[in-house]
Structure 1
């Protein structure tokens, strides 16, 4: 069985942190830190563990915020490039154990934002400060936006990524930035500077940020494509394609047109699903999509499928899944096959009943079938 995700902040990492902090500052009360950090830790999930460790730091770090930040900064491992490890014994702290440090900065440092942002600049090069920077955007917007603008030119890809990732309107696990959900315009100059960043690590974050914006402001992202897609170099095209994924699934006409996917299927489509009766947690179902072109020219097709999941009180809600991307030749017939899993997951609750499935070609429903789900 795989190691539980929450153990990324387990006892071994707590003791490693205590040892490193005491090595950095002999006056650090390691025993008290470890006792508070480990109390009931096994029963907590990952985010709650990060908060408990942050509280233990609050109890044991120097009362002077600047001195405490300096201690934590000295305890860090040397910065590493994205994907590289700094896990050598005694090299310093890096990885998930740095998350509680950033949590501590986000709570203890709101009254001293300049020093706090300086500490997050160091910490994000060893883990990520994407969650911790968000309270500063809310509490100190002028200072934080100016800092993020400056960080767009930072030598570290980790810091440049933080600019985009930390300001995403709907960052998973993070404080939702309601003002940016309503009006994302403050982030747009930052994204424009970063969309051609030399690091794919940074560009992926920009794509996810634009995809966040698309959920609330589809016209803005369609305008972005109109301005930045024509003549774009290959890395930017890949970024913009990833940023378009939600709107392609929704069948947004302007976005489909921007990618040459605006035309309806010229031909016919069929969908068959086996077995017709499925049970949650077993082998799932197999989708077979048949396509027959009646066109005289090749067709670029983006083929997804929507499963209408039964709700607890009746009705259904659709979830779109990625299918295939292909060019269908003139007069060609093709059979596509895909396995759709029906496993319990934390983000979806299944209910028994008839589940309708639609095939979407370039955003338009062209065929449907279904299956009966038993729990």
Structure 2
């Protein structure tokens, strides 16, 4: 949400002029002054998505009526492809209205539009724009997805994964994939050891989405990938994909990741200091972790802060503390600092906040602090 807030400030008359100047180089009849003026008049009070739509609508009314010709002009202004690691939301942020143009006006021309989205995603992203095509041109789009997972461009491979995420942030849920994620897994299968970190992160996020609605299927997939593809790339994907289930203490997910011996692990001491905290303060979690077994165990340690809500109830939010190997009989002291800082996605309320220590998914100790506002 913070990223969205920061982005929206840039979509104004200045952005319209930036896009318009690029269009003028290939389409001299473009009305750049009228475009910038219209955008400035229409954006006040609008959030990011609506501002981007305003810019896309202004393009539609000033480019040739023929969609194929219009989208060809927009493809011609895209510029150089992004290298891996270069930011779509800083170097090429201004291309969001171009992708939105295809999303809004290209559904009657799916072949041309899908070709355009391939070029757009190499310079920006098409993960949002592709989703209406999945809904309205399912067979064609999924056929293209099956081709894109083998594309030389990591951007195109990522679009296949990111575009099929059932619960992609900032966009509506793909209900058909929530109900039946098997077609998504077919897309992900060739990408499970992808050489690109950019692609691997998307694959992991996609499988994590699936784990929210079909945990058994996600677990079975993660286990099979772990057994069939013993590569560092697949190992990273599986670990990142199971993070939601791990935070929920799912024992199968923890077993897949090698966490064992819960019955032999203890937290004999837990201390939260200070125990009275104001907004902006930092408290410290300090705990002793002990392995009473005669074998070494892989241990995943998380902590859950039970944030008080307006109605007095609390909702736990799980945070990662560490993952480590604990030798037979070993006792180790762990420490973690946590700041109660203002963020846009959370409202704080005064009261007693519990903190649970989860060891391999099991709550083994609890302490508390009082938050004063």
Smaller-chain TM-score bracket? over 0.9
**Structure 1 residue matching 2:84: 3-state secondary structure:** coil
CA distance in 2, matches of 1:182, 1:257: 26
The reply to whether residue 127 of structure 1 matches residue 129 of structure 2 is: no
**Which residue in 2 is equivalent to 1:299?**
297
List gaps (5 residues or longer) in structure 1. 87-92
**Which residue in 2 is equivalent to 1:99?**
96
CA distance in 2, matches of 1:135, 1:361: 42
CA distance in 1, matches of 2:87, 2:26: 21
**Which residue in 2 is equivalent to 1:16?**
18
Query: What's the CA shift for 1:265?
Result: 5.0
CA distance in 2, matches of 1:43, 1:314: 33
CA distance in 2, matches of 1:147, 1:74: 22
**Structure 2 residue matching 1:9: 3-state secondary structure:** coil
Q: 1:144-182 CA distances to partner (integer Å, 9 max, x unpaired)?
A: 111111111222111110000011001111121111112
**Which residue in 1 is equivalent to 2:308?**
310
List gaps (5 residues or longer) in structure 2. none
**Structure 1 residue matching 2:16: 3-state secondary structure:** helix
Q: 1:314-341 CA distances to partner (integer Å, 9 max, x unpaired)?
A: 2211111111111122222211111112
Q: Kindly tell me: are residues 56 and 97 of structure 1, through their superposed partners in 2, closer, same or farther at Cα, counting changes over 3 Å?
A: same
Q: 1:58-90 CA distances to partner (integer Å, 9 max, x unpaired)?
A: 22121110010000011110223222489xxxx
Q: Is the contact made by 1:293 and 1:331 (CA closer than 8 Å) also made in structure 2?
A: yes
CA distance in 1, matches of 2:87, 2:93: 12
| 1:244 aligns with one of 238, 242, 245 | 242
**Which residue in 2 is equivalent to 1:351?**
349
**Larger mean Cα displacement after TM superposition, 9-18 or 193-202:** 9-18
**Which residue in 2 is equivalent to 1:216?**
213
Query: What's the CA shift for 1:191?
Result: 0.2
Q: Is the contact made by 1:80 and 1:126 (CA closer than 8 Å) also made in structure 2?
A: yes
CA distance in 2, matches of 1:84, 1:182: 34
After TM superposition, list the pairs within 5 Å mapping 1:1-375 onto structure 2: 4-39=6-41, 41=43, 43-84=45-86, 95-230=92-227, 232-269=230-267, 270-280=269-279, 282-375=280-373
Query: What's the CA shift for 1:94?
Result: 6.3
**Which residue in 2 is equivalent to 1:89?**
none
**Larger mean Cα displacement after TM superposition, 359-368 or 149-158:** 149-158
- Output the TM-score relative to the length of structure 2: 0.93
Q: 1:175-222 CA distances to partner (integer Å, 9 max, x unpaired)?
A: 211111121111111100111222221111101100111111111111
Query: What's the CA shift for 1:122?
Result: 0.9
Q: Kindly tell me: are residues 85 and 302 of structure 1, through their superposed partners in 2, closer, same or farther at Cα, counting changes over 3 Å?
A: closer
Q: Is the contact made by 1:81 and 1:157 (CA closer than 8 Å) also made in structure 2?
A: no
Over aligned residue pairs, what C-alpha RMSD do you find?
A: 2.1
CA distance in 2, matches of 1:155, 1:73: 20
Q: Is the contact made by 1:76 and 1:94 (CA closer than 8 Å) also made in structure 2?
A: no
**Structure 2 residue matching 1:105: 3-state secondary structure:** helix
CA distance in 1, matches of 2:139, 2:265: 55
Q: Is the contact made by 2:85 and 2:198 (CA closer than 8 Å) also made in structure 1?
A: no
CA distance in 1, matches of 2:7, 2:15: 13
What is the aligned length?
368
CA distance in 2, matches of 1:368, 1:85: 41
CA distance in 2, matches of 1:188, 1:181: 12
**Structure 1 residue matching 2:304: 3-state secondary structure:** strand
Q: Is the contact made by 1:95 and 1:126 (CA closer than 8 Å) also made in structure 2?
A: yes
CA distance in 2, matches of 1:303, 1:59: 56
Q: Kindly tell me: are residues 117 and 267 of structure 1, through their superposed partners in 2, closer, same or farther at Cα, counting changes over 3 Å?
A: closer
**Larger mean Cα displacement after TM superposition, 75-84 or 121-130:** 75-84
**Structure 2 residue matching 1:219: 3-state secondary structure:** helix
CA distance in 1, matches of 2:265, 2:144: 54
